[in-house]
Structure 1
């Protein structure tokens, strides 16, 4: 008999769950009772400013509290936020707020769930092994970057003085690194080990060398023993919440670990999954990476969060929110607009509902969730609950894009997620060379570039090069590509805006 409690261990003020072990036990004992929870994807409007959240986590927490008050067995899966880029919490953290908050938000916002620090240590140890390999003549360049939780422009490109010539290195944010992506996508420790072994450490005489060629992988997987376990906590109202991995959908995949969602779906009827930044980032990556390529659940419904002011008050950007809602609806996903009211905006509710009606939206869900929590939503969820009971669309486009030409894949994302046709996808000088170098590297390690999954790396605050341009003039510029062979991902930098602006101190 599979007992979930056997896989739960105390971890400070909350618990850690051996999701790998629990899911393996369920797989080995298919006769044991388990649920087939449906996923609600919570995403958002593209924010006007990169350092500002729209309220996805607050909405997620309020939703599970409201659903449970309605008698629905609901849970949420949140991403472990990055401490550094929020400027010590000025963005609002990632634990909700007010009455729609977790019991110990500081443990989430300050990275004390543990996986960020462990993944940072593990990837930096990999770089140290690569540096040692240079000293031993096994490598002459290091390609894997160091990582840090705290952003620093001065460390993005560095030169290490080795006394006999400089060694070029760089530092990226922990959530964006290949090892984080591997943990998010893997379903066993064995898979993590295989993927780490496949990571390209650097080159020797122009040929790529993988980590599996010269290190013992137990050194890395041992560090990750607790990092692979989702944290288990609660909302202030006692609703279950799992927290694991995956922020920054603009510069990485930005989704919780697949095992945390799979585990939650085995235990609950409804699982609310939070995806990073706007629908052009987090929702795009849940659908096109997690679901399409890695077998995660296709959402039974979606909620797109916005603020009243963001939705209406910038005429040149008003097109973005309806684009997101209509795109998800076009994929057969019942999509509900969620308007996150701030103090003093209650009187706008009638006008906002009329605007939603004029746009052809479903009846919007709205409330001051910081002030009122889930109580604000309890009587507004009839449509959402009804949608969850409907059968999944038989024609959902979930066919893998593996094998599709890379440029065709990129143009498909630009058209479907940003509304820009392939004829207006522009290549910056050097992009073609970058793509060819990636192709050569993959060929040398026996990987087909077309079988890798595209990860769009872009500004969190824009969908195109200039979102204020008229629709028929919007473009998407391709800048460079970077293969993450161990993760099976091909990162493609696009749009002319900054991908990771420094946080604003407020």
Structure 2
């Protein structure tokens, strides 16, 4: 009998799973044993500081340990972290902590499963092909950026002297690049090749030129052979965890690969999916990109993680957490607040429960997950498990394809940030940037309204000023960028950096 082991190979201390092959096997073998797991989304409050996590990964790991202890077959799907942030020490790792951690956290935090390095190599090879195309007169400009895991801010904009005049280039973090997005959204290697062919390399005479016009795509897909395979590891308590796809939901899509989640749902009854940063970032992109535009499963429940201090200590920002919880509830997603305690905060539990009751939340789940792991949660999950067991599989939401980019951003601003359409502001130069993007799309036969929207924003704010009174909050649109191969249109709003310089500690 064919099983997942037939599609798994050893890669150092972790397994690598040919998810494309396994899902194709299931598609062509209707009687093959499989499950139809329900997706649970773990997201978070908008953090007070962009460099401090609220504890999503620690929560995700503790949650699957607790569910497995309760006899429920649960697994987690995590995103591959960026070494430029985690290893440099400006925030915690992407492998949990304490009793809620993975068996080999260093493999995940330092990118040693290989996906990030392979994607970086392939993207940089594409740029090299674009540079060669400039030398050969096939391109005038280069639009696709080079990538690095630990870039300097001085590399955001550079100019390369080619003897015939400088050609501007730039460098971004690997997780933010278009090739990472293509890997996250694709269901087969053939689809990856097709998407890479549609990537816009640059322009010639003002018109876009795609890589498919001058690159042998097998050179790129060969580099990605292992990068497209999710890594399988486990928690210190033996719960299965799959790691695949890019972080950074503020400047990219910040979700695991769709195939890793689909594969996990075929293998387990409950699949916990972690989305980057907060409900306004990663959860918004799971719901509005992965589910709405690419057919991923709508969550059967959600966990919104926060710290006790975030919830309590800053009155000007106290509106954000209830907004996140209520927004998901209004989408008919049973949403459970989870308060991730730090050491010395146990005595605050009664007050936190009282506050949650006043806010009319579901009874929150509270614990020091670093110290106690899944044991802190196991006896608090009755309502959560009931929602999973008795809830129906939700219907797929309708697509936004065909909606103009400005109308799409206004919809996201109102739904995800609480800012009505009339207070979405266009910065000087935005309209010109939008028109240039439309013309670029038209020149390569792409309708920009068919691209899924990626809001590029600060991870620590939802609006231009979250401390402003509710009726004065605005969202400013700054510029538009096209990722035609990934099928995405980026709109920069509030503040954002695609090449942050990590704070070394």
Same fold (TM over 0.5): yes
Asked if 1:314 corresponds to 2:314, the answer is: yes
Contact 2:302 2:333 in 1 (8 A): yes
User: Residue 468 of structure 2 aligns with which residue?
Assistant: 469
Q: Equivalent residue of 2:302, what SS? A: strand
Contact 2:45 2:320 in 1 (8 A): yes
Distance 1:461 1:87, change over 3 A: farther
**Which whole-Å CA distance do the structure 2 matches of 1:405 and 1:164 have between them?**
39
Q: Equivalent residue of 1:443, what SS? A: helix
Q: Equivalent residue of 1:160, what SS? A: strand
User: Residue 151 of structure 1 aligns with which residue?
Assistant: 151
**Which whole-Å CA distance do the structure 2 matches of 1:472 and 1:397 have between them?**
33
Contact 2:153 2:499 in 1 (8 A): no
What's the offset of the Cα at 1:500?
5.8
Q: Equivalent residue of 1:383, what SS? A: helix
Task: After superposition, give the CA deviation of every residue in 1:176-211 in whole Å (9 maximum; x if it has no partner).
Answer: 000000000000000000000000111111111110
Q: Equivalent residue of 2:337, what SS? A: strand
Q: Equivalent residue of 1:139, what SS? A: coil
Matched ranges for 1:260-271 at <5 A? 260-271=260-271
**Which whole-Å CA distance do the structure 2 matches of 1:393 and 1:190 have between them?**
30
Q: Equivalent residue of 1:455, what SS? A: strand
**Which whole-Å CA distance do the structure 2 matches of 1:214 and 1:61 have between them?**
45
**Which whole-Å CA distance do the structure 2 matches of 1:482 and 1:242 have between them?**
31
**Which whole-Å CA distance do the structure 2 matches of 1:476 and 1:304 have between them?**
23
Distance 1:497 1:163, change over 3 A: closer
User: Residue 454 of structure 2 aligns with which residue?
Assistant: 455
**Which whole-Å CA distance do the structure 1 matches of 2:496 and 2:209 have between them?**
33
Q: Equivalent residue of 1:374, what SS? A: helix
Distance 1:270 1:348, change over 3 A: same
Aligned residues: 505
**Which whole-Å CA distance do the structure 2 matches of 1:397 and 1:404 have between them?**
18
User: Residue 257 of structure 2 aligns with which residue?
Assistant: 257
What's the offset of the Cα at 1:504?
2.2
Contact 1:51 1:86 in 2 (8 A): no
Q: Equivalent residue of 1:201, what SS? A: strand
Asked if 1:125 corresponds to 2:125, the answer is: yes
Task: After superposition, give the CA deviation of every residue in 1:22-71 in whole Å (9 maximum; x if it has no partner).
Answer: 00000000111210000110000000001110000000000000000000
Distance 1:94 1:145, change over 3 A: same
What's the offset of the Cα at 1:503?
2.4
**Which whole-Å CA distance do the structure 2 matches of 1:360 and 1:274 have between them?**
25
**Which whole-Å CA distance do the structure 1 matches of 2:203 and 2:96 have between them?**
44
Matched ranges for 1:207-286 at <5 A? 207-286=207-286
Q: Equivalent residue of 1:24, what SS? A: helix
Contact 2:353 2:364 in 1 (8 A): yes
Contact 1:80 1:244 in 2 (8 A): yes
TM-score, L = length of structure 1: 0.98
**Which whole-Å CA distance do the structure 2 matches of 1:69 and 1:134 have between them?**
59
Contact 2:477 2:493 in 1 (8 A): yes
**Which whole-Å CA distance do the structure 1 matches of 2:210 and 2:404 have between them?**
25
Q: Equivalent residue of 1:41, what SS? A: strand
What's the offset of the Cα at 1:90?
3.7
Contact 1:39 1:271 in 2 (8 A): yes
What's the offset of the Cα at 1:328?
0.2
Q: Equivalent residue of 1:311, what SS? A: helix
**Which whole-Å CA distance do the structure 1 matches of 2:140 and 2:195 have between them?**
22
What's the offset of the Cα at 1:78?
0.3
Asked if 1:180 corresponds to 2:180, the answer is: yes
Contact 1:87 1:504 in 2 (8 A): no
Unaligned runs of 5+ in 2: none
**Which whole-Å CA distance do the structure 1 matches of 2:383 and 2:229 have between them?**
34
Contact 1:156 1:170 in 2 (8 A): yes
User: Residue 338 of structure 2 aligns with which residue?
Assistant: 338
What's the offset of the Cα at 1:163?
1.8
What's the offset of the Cα at 1:152?
1.3
Distance 1:424 1:397, change over 3 A: farther
Distance 1:500 1:416, change over 3 A: farther
Contact 2:250 2:496 in 1 (8 A): no
**Which whole-Å CA distance do the structure 2 matches of 1:258 and 1:120 have between them?**
20
What's the offset of the Cα at 1:392?
3.0
What's the offset of the Cα at 1:117?
0.2
**Which whole-Å CA distance do the structure 2 matches of 1:436 and 1:91 have between them?**
38
TM-score, L = length of structure 2: 0.99
**Which whole-Å CA distance do the structure 1 matches of 2:297 and 2:265 have between them?**
9
What's the offset of the Cα at 1:113?
1.3
What's the offset of the Cα at 1:405?
1.8
Task: After superposition, give the CA deviation of every residue in 1:124-149 in whole Å (9 maximum; x if it has no partner).
Answer: 00000000011011111111000000
Distance 1:208 1:497, change over 3 A: closer
Contact 1:119 1:227 in 2 (8 A): yes
User: Residue 104 of structure 1 aligns with which residue?
Assistant: 104
Contact 2:65 2:239 in 1 (8 A): yes
**Which whole-Å CA distance do the structure 1 matches of 2:393 and 2:65 have between them?**
27
Contact 2:89 2:504 in 1 (8 A): no
**Farther-moved stretch of structure 1 (489-498 vs 424-433):** 489-498
